[in-house]
Amino acid sequence: MSETNEVKTAPLAAVVINSSALAIMLALLSMLGPFSIDTYLPAFPNIQASLDASALEVQQTLTAYLFSFAVMILWHGALSDAFGRRNIILVSLAVFAVATLACAAVHSIEYLWVFRMLQGISAGAGVVIGRAIIRDLYAGSAAERLLSLVTMIFSIAPAIAPILGGWIVKHSNWRNIFLALFAYAVLLLIYCYKRLPESLPPEKRQPFNPHFLYHSYKRVFRSPLFHLKGGTVAFNFAGMFLYVAAAPVFLVQHLGLGPDQFGWQFIPTVAGIFCGALAANRLAGNIPISRQVLIGFVFLIGAGIFNVTYHALYPPALPWSVAPLFFYTFGMSMVAPGATLLVLDLFPNIRGTVASCQSFTLTLLGALVAGVIAPALSHSPLALAAGQMIFTLIALSLWLGGRSYRRFLDARQEPNAWETVE
């Protein structure tokens, strides 16, 4: 498929739901993840006291969630390729609702671990399958515009989730955070049951058996283009997530801010994601994807150079230490929609599986950043800035390598990664 091709919207989307309503629905599904993580973070001391647990045991509720999320995200797409996009989303929402209600009712930390794992198993379906639905129903600039619109709406969640959780904890009980998430999941389940289209008809579904799954995952993970184009998105994300993981040290120790002043970092970060997605939405169809991605990298590299230069010459200070994050996430959101669509088009017959594999690699890299790289670099603002710059340069190298590899395949007239899985 050409990067500049404009393809008509699939009839099903026009008949069942318009693109704006679909974008809102898919963004609401994607918000389950950040709401499940960020909303209950302010309640950690309350949970610790209520369940007579240690701080480490409460922290492990987040670990349990992230571990199950990362493992299961590899399977949501394959399940949707076999049983339909709509069916898996509805089942996942139902499981999430039950698990969330159970989290609100637990009276021991061990049970909270179990039900947080059940939340993690089900919460990732929306973000993975949502991308596959977009690519099932739309193509070309229409798909890119819709994906960027979903990103714009989704970016609200990381900004409001900790504020909402803190407000609930201040005025009520920590259990009400999970009751609010339960209500959100139930309302979303009803909405999706009534309005979510099935974008993958039965005749296009793939068998769900070990041999086919092994073959599919093998084809995806052995594809150089998957790693080159998917790595572009993953390493740009890692550069942003590095600062999220290091926020407690970066803001409190280096900038001298209090726990109620984290907005200094997260507001410019979320604003950059929103504005970059808006710019990508407006540019979709007007310029080739390759040019849009390169424009995004201009912002990424520019933000990285400023960040490194400033912290090499001056001590950390507001607003200069956080301002580059706006331009970095702006560029990241310019790159992500087009690059993601190219990844999904590598194997058109198993887009759900490809979406799962991409999310898995991104989550895995994020876990490495949070567990190893951020702790190693957070001692110095300059080290954080240099780490972010290195991630960006790796992403740019992967993107340029992917374009060169594609030209190499085309020149040799060999089958490339867009071939379908038999």
In a domain, 297, yes or no: yes
Tell me: do 189 and 305 sit in the same domain: no
pTM: 0.71
Tell me: do 55 and 171 sit in the same domain: yes
In a domain, 417, yes or no: no
Tell me: do 157 and 261 sit in the same domain: no
Collapsed DSSP state (helix, strand, coil) of residue 287 = strand
Dihedral through CA 175, CA 180, CA 182, CA 184, nearest 10? -170
Collapsed DSSP state (helix, strand, coil) of residue 346 = coil
The confidence score (pLDDT) of residue 197 equals 83
Tell me: do 115 and 228 sit in the same domain: no
CA distance 294 to 301: 10
84: left (phi over 0), alpha (psi -120 to 50) or beta: left
Residue 287 — φ and ψ, nearest 5°?
A: -135, 155
In a domain, 345, yes or no: yes
Tell me: do 198 and 228 sit in the same domain: no
In a domain, 421, yes or no: no
Tell me: do 371 and 240 sit in the same domain: yes
Q: Of 162, 187, 208, which residue is a domain's last?
A: 208
CA distance 368 to 377: 13
Tell me: do 240 and 389 sit in the same domain: yes
In a domain, 41, yes or no: yes
Residue 96 and residue 32 in contact, taking contact as beta carbons nearer than 8 Å: yes
Tell me: do 359 and 279 sit in the same domain: yes
In a domain, 5, yes or no: no
In a domain, 1, yes or no: no
CA distance 352 to 132: 5
Tell me: do 240 and 189 sit in the same domain: no
The confidence score (pLDDT) of residue 388 equals 94
CA distance 196 to 133: 10
pLDDT one digit per residue (tens) for the chain, 422 residues: 444 344 444 444 433 467 778 888 888 888 888 788 777 767 777 888 889 888 778 867 877 887 788 788 888 877 888 888 889 999 999 999 999 999 999 999 999 999 999 999 998 888 778 877 887 888 777 777 777 778 777 777 766 777 777 778 878 888 999 999 999 999 999 999 988 888 888 878 877 777 877 888 888 888 888 889 889 999 998 998 888 777 767 877 898 876 556 678 878 888 898 888 888 878 877 788 888 899 999 999 999 999 999 999 999 998 999 999 999 999 998 998 888 888 888 887 777 778 778 888 887 787 778 767 888 898 899 999 999 999 999 999 999 998 888 877 777 765 544 443 33
In a domain, 7, yes or no: no
Q: Which pair of tokens denotes residue 106?
A: 């637990």
Q: Of 186, 208, 230, which residue is a domain's last?
A: 208
What is the CATH number for 184?
1.20.1250.20
Q: Of 208, 235, 256, which residue is a domain's last?
A: 208
The confidence score (pLDDT) of residue 314 equals 92
Q: What is the largest CA-CA distance in the chain?
A: 66
CA distance 201 to 102: 34
Residue 226 and residue 343 in contact, taking contact as beta carbons nearer than 8 Å: yes
Tell me: do 196 and 216 sit in the same domain: no
Residue 141 and residue 2 in contact, taking contact as beta carbons nearer than 8 Å: no
Residue 176 and residue 55 in contact, taking contact as beta carbons nearer than 8 Å: no
Tell me: do 266 and 194 sit in the same domain: no
In the numeric block, the tokens 């709509």 are attached to 86
In the numeric block, the tokens 């490339």 are attached to 416
Residue 321 and residue 264 in contact, taking contact as beta carbons nearer than 8 Å: no
Tell me: do 59 and 178 sit in the same domain: yes
CA distance 170 to 115: 24
Q: Which domain holds residue 130?
A: 12-208
Q: How many domains does one find in the chain?
A: 2
